[in-house]
Structure 1
């Protein structure tokens, strides 16, 4: 049997608008901590707050960015026991108008916040919660609506300038023929057979009676084995809920963290509450489950967000520990990224050749630039740790976030030690460079001939050596030192040497006062060796790199098999090397 094409007469292509039914108040199956229930929306002007109009028209309630905004809901009102409205499609989505006209897109759903409920238990024990005060937040086009009557309207709404009425609006007078056409359009919209429409017309059912019968018919089909209807009354995306829950768990164990307003509703959630929520949002019944069962099932169920929420919480703790750990040499180094694990190669170009005068009829002379290169590898480092099932059942949030904070600090300590080990390689001479000589070598002009204590004289000699460095073409490049790097044993001496003195005569002037920045690195093995280094932003020297998109320690989660709980893999893709010897100078000390 061939049906007539769906062509909504309420569609105005010039204005890019179409009239829609937003909600009929049909019951929607829900799952809460207390078990399943039906939710209804009370449809009248007292219950519905439309003060937010106009609101966004979204693609399936997605709130991740402006690309998901299809248009806006520009008007809404209560009419005939339904919440109806007018949507305007954005000029960015002209194809949607074609899909609405052909019936490809026809179903809607709304996002809302509930201010008050009334509850009752119907015959058979079914719990019903009716939203008696609620606010419309957004509307969405969806593939399967929670309310089967939430759809594009075939006939246009009566024209009105009000978006929310304060008194019930009488329904327009309709002839029997008009009602019959609307009943047939209703059956077509809900994919009900022609026999359904014929039966309603034969018994002269009103539009309201036909709608009620259509809802009952659709719900009967939804409970048939093999049928599946997804409720779409969801205002917050799963990603947003996961992020808020993870932040709340982190804030519980870290009092210094001030939770966002979005995370505050979850501050009282225990790990058991989070597990319950994850299972119910995954449509897993928790009736009869013990707390231990809920924790176990939430970690093992493939559609549960529980492992990701715990992973997000752990990552926050890991990052907090990582960011607070000192890494002294990073201040004198440049950070970059690597695209893959192949050795990272840096090409250095010499200074540009000197410009020469060109005569009135002369020609330009060719110049050359010298090249040099240095390479270093990016390594993979990591460890697997676990949160036990017992700790999660006991809601021991503080214990595992504190432990993961220690792992964050350990990652930062690893990086700091890595840089120190690189600097002091070869018994203090540093790593071998591409020319075959160590970083600090007489041929590089960056190593004191004899070790000497840190003093105005020796620091002056170090600065002079750096200032007189020559580039690849042999020309002076005038490198300016910025950092003085010492072990803790030389900290006091260095502070005195760099102190700013208000001198009364020229002989008392401190030439280094305020000129260098002091870096004290406790990991340096020599108690006498000291260094000066140039600003890495102006002169290549020490460089460290992370794998692109993986800056700092990364956390991955999975349900444990060998251990009873959730496992975390802490991974760090990191490498470092010296790109040029000219920006560093070393004195072994005495």
Structure 2
């Protein structure tokens, strides 16, 4: 999200809804941070996601009060289409798509459990229907029929049905989506399926041979027909995958249904889904009534059942989420989750040893196991970052840079007073001072590996503790850079040090009422030319060795010795917040500083595109037997102006 023209904001939903995509908590937090806005440009390119996360985002937009223009830049599928209905105006290119369908989910238990779960899905659908009906003007029965059919609509079709208000000329999609939800959609047009790419850690394996068709010059081209050998090879590969999947399915039952297994394998028309249905029917003949005291195994989602269930179970075991008692994947090991991410999607692993099976789970295009590991590591990384006890964020200025080129900051001295504009006179262009400070981004990061051995050994700590510690280290790195500016006293663009006698920001007198008052006056009396800047100190930065005396001097209601002269108040009581920083002890335990309020031109910490958290990425390791995980942060730290800082020391 970013604010543009005053009162306007641009919001982009270019990911799945929920989990490690766009969460309701993150969305609402950033929406509230935009402040008082009157118009929102909401750009959507999403395959959908979690129903309840999406409902929360939809309600937040409707209750915000701003006029909303929705742009469907590529696809708004499933729950993303519901969010699009929050727009007062919906605009789609001709080649964009929208998809609506019934909520999905799965359940385990007896017939009553199944009926209860079906009722739950119906209730979810009844919540979604009014959003579509209000936008389109259609009845809820008409919308329900479209949901039941998994309806895909182009921009023109959305306009005709009332889901969109304007259609623009076709444009190239602005971004691809990395998602597994394409596996769950039954009627997705190929033009949209090509926009949704495998996650970056996936390495699709092509098991067929494709022979390029010769160029055709006739006016009416005829599709090239594969030769007999190619067709035979493809059919054999499909049959091999079918039989392997069926064998894996029956392997979980220890040979109890060998006759049925042989029948399913021998029948070339029996798919994995049909074999699963036959197995359930056979098991039903042997089953006894379900214990009513046993809770049903229910897990609700919006398409990616396997991945969502494994992800939630793994996050719960790592301590990042509460355990969902109805999640069928609870209590498993990393190795079991790796296997389930394959077999639950029909990928046979009966002939694989553990190392091969885990390797396949990390790289196969259908499995999202690698992405789930990335989600857990990212949770640890962000928790480590957020829990790191750093002090620089309290008083430094937060900045934003869009690239790694050197940028320039004018500082507080860039402008004088505004000139009077008499009636009928013209406004004159202002000229800033020649003094400009520079700032540039740099990248800081490390790499660690999630090995196959760690997964086989069920070493969940490798996924959590290492990223958490690296998150703390990332934040500490920025803190090191900030306090290094204070202690190294670098030169500014005027050729003089940040703290310099000519800058009138070096005080003496120690930590006492008179010493602090003298330092305060130095900052308050700073000028730009003849104009007083009237800067107030907001923070006192001290080494830990001086924390006690600083707090005693500033927070006391009376001055030292007032017990002998009652009624003598402390004139500097609470004039600044004391921040104790151990890095200052290492440099000089007797030197302390005053800093102006946060946002003042003191020291700026700039982030690439305003992202002030670390970034995590993965790729299959070549030199390591597993997944190489890279953690990095892009930031720049530089002093902006000397007038918001004062340095002093004790004797």
Cα deviation, 1:349-399, whole Å, max 9, x if unaligned, reads 6455356595xx885786855434211110011111012211111211124
Q: 1:511 aligns with which of 571, 586, 611?
A: 571
With normalisation by structure 2, the TM-score equals 0.54
Does residue 1:251 correspond to 2:310, yes or no? no
Q: Where does residue 486 of structure 2 map in the other structure?
A: 423
Greater helix fraction, Structure 1 or Structure 2: 2
Aligned residue for 1:78? Answer: none
Deviations along 1:90-112, one digit per CA (max 9) or x if unpaired, are x979999xxxxxxx999988735
**Does the 8 Å contact 1:60/1:140 carry over to 2?**
no
Alignment deviations for residues 400-432 of structure 1 (CA, whole Å, 9 cap, x no partner)? 31122111111111111111112211xxxx121
**Are 1:141 and 2:150 matched, yes or no?**
yes
Q: Match for residue 63 of structure 2?
A: none
Shift of 1:131: 7.1
The structure with the greater share of residues assigned to strand is: 1
Does residue 66 of the first structure (1) align with residue 129 of the second (2)? no
Matched with 1:7 is none
Per the alignment, do residues 560 and 142 of structure 1 end up closer, same or farther by CA in structure 2, a change over 3 Å counting? farther
From the CA coordinates, give the structure whose radius of gyration is larger. Answer: 1
Distance verdict in 2 for CA 1:366–1:381, change over 3 Å: closer
Identify the structure with bigger relative contact order (alpha carbons < 8 Å, sequence gap 6+).
Answer: 1
| Shift in Å, 1:284 | 1.5
2:400 is matched with which residue?
Answer: 337
Task: Give me the whole-angstrom Cα distance separating, in 2, the residues matched to 1:413 and 1:95.
Answer: 46
- 1:533 matched to 2:612? The reply is no
Counterparts in 2 of 1:488 and 1:113: CA distance versus 1, 3 Å: same
Q: Which residue of 2 aligns with 1:437?
A: 496
Residue 404 and residue 482 in structure 1: after superposition, are their counterparts in 2 closer, same or farther (change >3 A)? same
Deviates more, 1:133-142 or 1:569-578: 133-142
C-alpha RMSD of the superposition: 4.4
Aligned counterparts of 2:570 and 2:620: Cα–Cα separation in 1: 62
* Counterpart residue number, 1:393: 456
Contact preservation (8 Å) 2:593, 2:648: yes
Q: Which runs of 5+ in 1 are unaligned?
A: 1-58, 71-90, 97-103, 119-129, 150-221
SS in 2 for 1:431: coil
8 A contact 1:109–1:142 mirrored in 2: no
1:270 aligns with 2:333: yes
Following TM superposition, by how much is the alpha carbon of 1:335 offset from its aligned partner in structure 2, in angstroms? 1.3
8 Å CA contact 1:422, 1:577 repeated in 2: yes
Match of 1:353 in 2: 417
Gaps of 5+ in 2: 1-74, 126-147, 153-181, 188-266, 277-298
Structure 1 CA distance for aligned equivalents of residues 92 and 476 of structure 2: 55
User: What is the correspondence of 1:150-549 to structure 2 with a 5 Å cutoff?
Assistant: 236-237=301-302, 242=307, 245-254=310-319, 257-259=320-322, 266-280=329-343, 282-348=345-411, 350-351=414-415, 353=417, 356=420, 368=430, 370-371=432-433, 372-425=435-488, 430-448=489-507, 451-471=508-528, 473-501=529-557, 508-524=568-584, 525-537=587-599, 539-548=600-609
CA gap 1:346/1:60 in 2 versus in 1, 3 angstroms: closer
1:111 matched to 2:172: no
Cα gap change, 1:115 to 1:389, in 2 (>3 Å): closer
| Deviation of the 1:311 alpha carbon | 0.8
Listed one character per residue, the Cα deviations across residues 111-148 of structure 1 (whole Å, up to 9, x for unaligned) are 35445468xxxxxxxxxxx9787615553526899999
